Amino acid sequence: MSTRSSQSRATSGPPTAWRRLPVHAVRVVLALFFAFPVVFMLVSSFKPDQQIFGDLSGPRAFLPVGDLSLTNYTAVFERVPALRFLLNSLAISATTVVLGIVVNSLAAFALSRMRWPGRKLLLTLIIATLIVPFETFALPLVWWVNELPWLELNGFGLTLTEGWLDTYRVQVLPFVAHGFSIFLFHQYFQSIPKELDEAALIDGAGWFGIYRRIVMPLSGPAIATVAILTFLPAWNSYLWPLMVVQQEELRPVMVGIQYFFQLNPSWGEIMAYSSMITVPVLALFLAFQRSFINSIASSGVKG
């Protein structure tokens, strides 16, 4: 009996952990490779310019050694209204995410759960919009938003004004509806059993009640994924605010980085500013990475 067990152990090979060691080693190497730029940026944000260039020839460029201080971070707030830019981007991105989740999920619900003629054709057209780059219609979009009316509240009541330029709404509303977000919600909604809708309709619930009480509570991973994919372009937006916003108090963080290249560029300050605008994005992804992966995996189950 003992001979048979020893033979089975001999033929079974190394333990599973040892067999997976090369895979883990490759993953660690790839993680370090992609993390090097972020580590260099964070470490350099605490160094003066002379030390940044002096450390480029060796591994000290990635190590927090030498003359470290918070001088670059304090200089950022003295050189540009960084706090104002951060608050603007946070407000614009958060509003775009909230409105995007509501609008895109409602459109996806109508396309995936309700039956009406032409819905498949409409979904195809929505997906087709993804092949059109933003740069091709940026200039026509500027003309359109400049012609759109808006109701503003003043001391005499509501006043109809024309033009959205130099406002917060011009940085939010054109990017609320997005074809990929609708498609992602649609694919996830397809994986939810439609028998739940039938049971709710028999109980007297309406379509909006099914959307609010059944479908959306079961779509946490899809909501988290759409939130990340909506937040990233809103936070990283540069070309559009540069075209439609002239007032400094309305500009987002990405437009603010051009301030550091106007006179005497200080790379320590540039690294500090870049770190300030990168950390929120990393924190958001790390907080929702599990839901992001689950949504991407489940969205391809049923199409």
pLDDT under 50: residue ranges of the chain: 1-2, 6, 8, 10-11, 300-303
Q: Are residues 186 and 293 in the same domain?
A: yes
CA 274, 280, 286, 288 torsion: positive or negative? negative
Task: Specify whether 123 is located in the same domain as 13.
Answer: no
126: left (phi over 0), alpha (psi -120 to 50) or beta: alpha
Q: Which of 79, 94, 121 is the last residue of a domain?
A: 79
246 lies in the same domain as 292: yes
Quick one: 102 and 198 in the same domain?
yes
- Domain stop point among 64, 79, 94: 79
pLDDT at 33: 82
pLDDT, residue 301, reads 47
CATH number at residue 105: 1.10.3720.10
For residue 100, report the phi and psi dihedrals to the nearest 5 degrees: -65, -40
Q: What pTM was computed for the model?
A: 0.82
Strands (E), the chain: 149-154, 157-162
* 26 and 94 both lie in a single domain: no
Length of the chain: 303
Rounded to whole angstroms, the Cα distance separating 122 from 114 reads: 13
Q: How far apart are CA 161 and CA 48, in angstroms?
A: 49
Domain count within the chain: 2
Same domain for 10 and 93? no
63 and 88 in a single domain? The answer is: no
Residue 107 shares a structural domain with residue 34: no
Q: What is the pLDDT of residue 299?
A: 52
pLDDT tens-digit readout, 159-196: 777 788 999 999 999 999 999 999 999 999 998 998 99
Residue 294's pLDDT is: 65
Do 7 and 152 lie in one domain? The reply is no
d(CA 212, CA 86): 33
Q: Which among 263, 251, 232, 279 has a CA at the least distance from the CA of 45?
A: 279
- Give the pLDDT confidence score for residue 15 in this predicted structure: 60
Average pLDDT, the chain: 85
Q: Which domain holds residue 195?
A: 81-299
Amino acid at site 240: W
For residues 73 and 203, state if they share a domain.
no
Q: What is the pLDDT of residue 45?
A: 92
Of 33, 63, 79, which closes a domain? 79
Q: Does residue 146 share a domain with residue 69?
A: no
Question: What is the separation of C-alpha 37 from the centre of its chain, rounded to a whole number of angstroms?
Answer: 19
Residue 159 pLDDT: 72
From CA 49, how far away is CA 211, in angstroms rounded?
A: 55
Quick one: 240 and 195 in the same domain? yes
